């Protein structure tokens, strides 16, 4: 019975995998045993290294792109490298100072301005694409709610939020409502919910009051039916600002024109990217999606390194860097992490 190859760790197979990934990230060429014999720092013969590389290939950590003797990391190899083997290199002092200046500069006025500055800074530091979701408002207080009847079972919902913002939403109902019904429903909801955060209002309407439907009178049923439709539209996703996407054209593995077109289409539509960012906003710390881990085929040759950022102790958005799977993770990960912290500080300071 043959012995199963060991999973790379602190032993020589781990050192060889680390050296292989680092070498491939540097020059983008399949790495051979002779190169690894020099790069790994191990006193091993090329033949011994070839045997270890064969084990790594059997485990799915590396692959041979063609008939040459060289190997390249797979998504699984990159994942093991990032989780276990990578040695992080924080940005240099001058880079950190420049990043702080960009996020606190006079041009970065308002939350959107700071987000745009952070996106541009991420792109400049990594030479890849930087993206930042616009910060969500930390407090969305409901001040007033009104309903007006429209034709074809539609209702116009008018929401006043945070004293100044007015949102108009047309909702489609299962039956028509008269003006007096809607006025009574709005009075009931205003009395019960004005002054509360709109997300809490949505939660209570959907969870608590719906569970009590059996014991409600007609006024409460009408109010909840209209409010539920009006408030469910309020779960709007953020948009993100993107900088440096054309830098991706400089990477050989992303230079295929059709791949680039599809990738830029995804940037424009934002849906797939926002789905990944949604997964990051509920996570703690830096998240990394490597190749097919994203679940979107258009990103199979890309990695996305993200981190949530906070304002006033609340997560309000996500930022990140998107580039080829062959990216310098040891450098990109600390840059993303530090930028998230500095963006939060800039927002807290009232920029």
Is the pTM higher than 0.85? The answer reads no
State the pLDDT at residue 216: 64
Give 145's Cβ-side CA count (13 Å radius). 29
State the pLDDT at residue 77: 94
Q: Which CATH number fits domain 93-136+238-348: 1.10.10.10, 3.30.450.40, 3.40.50.300, 3.10.20.30?
A: 3.30.450.40
Taking the C-alpha atoms of residue 40 and residue 47, their distance in angstroms, rounded to an integer, is 14
State the pLDDT at residue 139: 64
Taking the C-alpha atoms of residue 185 and residue 141, their distance in angstroms, rounded to an integer, is 19
Q: Domain coordinates of the chain in residue numbers?
A: 12-85, 93-136+238-348, 142-232
| Bigger pLDDT: 311 vs 340 | 340
CB 230 within 8 A of CB 159: yes
Q: Which CATH number fits domain 142-232: 3.40.50.10130, 3.90.660.10, 1.25.40.90, 3.30.390.10?
A: 3.30.390.10
State the pLDDT at residue 145: 87
Taking the C-alpha atoms of residue 48 and residue 40, their distance in angstroms, rounded to an integer, is 13
State the pLDDT at residue 213: 60
State the pLDDT at residue 4: 43
- Rounded to the nearest 10°, the torsion over CA 64, 69, 72, 73 is 80
State the pLDDT at residue 7: 60
CB 173 within 8 A of CB 154: yes
State the pLDDT at residue 287: 92
Phi, psi (degrees; rounded to nearest 5) at 79 = -60, -45
Kind of pairing, strands 129-133 and 240-243?
A: antiparallel
Taking the C-alpha atoms of residue 311 and residue 331, their distance in angstroms, rounded to an integer, is 25
Could you tell me which residues come within 8 angstroms of residue 256 by beta carbon, excluding any fewer than 6 positions away? Answer: none
- R_g (Cα) of the chain, nearest Å: 26
% of the chain residues with pLDDT over 90? 28
The three-state DSSP-derived secondary structure of 171-239 is EECCCCCCHHHHHHHHHHHHHHHCCCEHHHHHHHHHHHHHHCHHHCCHHHHHHHHHHHHHHHCCCCCCC
Mean pLDDT for the chain?
A: 83
- Is the four-CA dihedral 189, 194, 198, 201 of positive or negative sign? negative
State the pLDDT at residue 119: 93
How do residues 115-163 score in pLDDT, each as one tens digit?
889 999 999 999 999 999 888 765 678 888 889 989 888 888 888 887 6
How do residues 16-68 score in pLDDT, each as one tens digit?
999 999 999 998 889 988 888 887 777 888 888 889 999 999 999 999 887 66
Could you tell me which residues come within 8 angstroms of residue 307 by beta carbon, excluding any fewer than 6 positions away? Answer: 280, 285, 286, 287, 318, 319, 320, 336, 337, 339, 340
State the pLDDT at residue 3: 44
Residue 9 — pLDDT band, cuts 50, 70, 90?
A: low
Query: CATH assignment of 12-85?
Result: 1.10.10.10
Phi, psi (degrees; rounded to nearest 5) at 91 = -65, 155
CB 71 within 8 A of CB 53: yes
CB 347 within 8 A of CB 111: yes
H-run or E-run covering 170: strand 165-172
Lowest mean pLDDT among 78-87, 166-175, 184-193, 215-224: 215-224
How do residues 192-251 score in pLDDT, each as one tens digit?
888 888 777 877 776 766 666 666 666 666 777 777 777 765 444 457 888 998 898 888
């Amino acid at each position: 019975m043959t012995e199963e190859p060991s999973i790379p760790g602190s032993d020589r197979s781990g050192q060889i995998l680390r050296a292989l990934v680092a070498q491939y990230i540097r020059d983008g060429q399949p790495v051979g045993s002779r190169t690894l014999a020099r790069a790994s720092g191990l006193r091993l013969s090329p033949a011994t290294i070839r045997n270890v590389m064969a084990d790594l290939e059997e485990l799915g950590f590396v692959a041979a792109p063609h008939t040459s003797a060289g190997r390249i990391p797979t998504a699984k190899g990159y994942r093991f490298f990032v989780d276990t083997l990578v040695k992080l290199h924080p940005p240099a002092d001058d880079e950190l100072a420049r990043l702080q200046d960009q996020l606190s500069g006079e041009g970065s006025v308002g939350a959107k301005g700071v987000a745009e500055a952070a996106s541009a800074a991420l792109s400049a530091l990594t030479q890849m694409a930087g993206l930042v979701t616009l910060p969500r408002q930390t407090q969305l207080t409901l001040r007033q709610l009104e309903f007006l009847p429209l034709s074809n079972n539609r209702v116009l919902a008018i929401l006043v939020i945070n004293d100044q913002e007015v949102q108009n939403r047309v909702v489609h109902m299962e039956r028509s409502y008269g003006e007096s019904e809607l006025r009574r429903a709005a009075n009931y909801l205003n009395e019960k919910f004005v002054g509360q955060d709109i997300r809490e209002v949505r939660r209570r309407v959907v969870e608590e009051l719906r569970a009590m439907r059996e014991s409600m009178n007609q006024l409460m049923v009408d109010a909840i039916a209209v409010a539920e439709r009006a408030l469910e539209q309020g779960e709007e996703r953020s948009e993100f600002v993107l900088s440096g996407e054309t830098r991706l054209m400089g990477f050989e593995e992303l230079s295929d024109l059709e791949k680039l077109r599809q990738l830029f289409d995804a940037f424009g539509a934002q849906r797939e990217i926002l789905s990944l960012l949604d997964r990051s906003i509920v996570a703690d710390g830096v998240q990394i999606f490597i190749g097919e881990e994203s679940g979107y085929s258009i990103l199979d040759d890309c990695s996305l390194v993200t981190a949530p950022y906070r304002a006033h102790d609340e997560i309000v958005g996500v930022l990140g860097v998107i580039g080829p799977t062959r990216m310098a993770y040891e450098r990109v990960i600390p840059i993303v992490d530090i930028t998230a912290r500095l963006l939060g500080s800039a927002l807290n300071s009232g920029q």
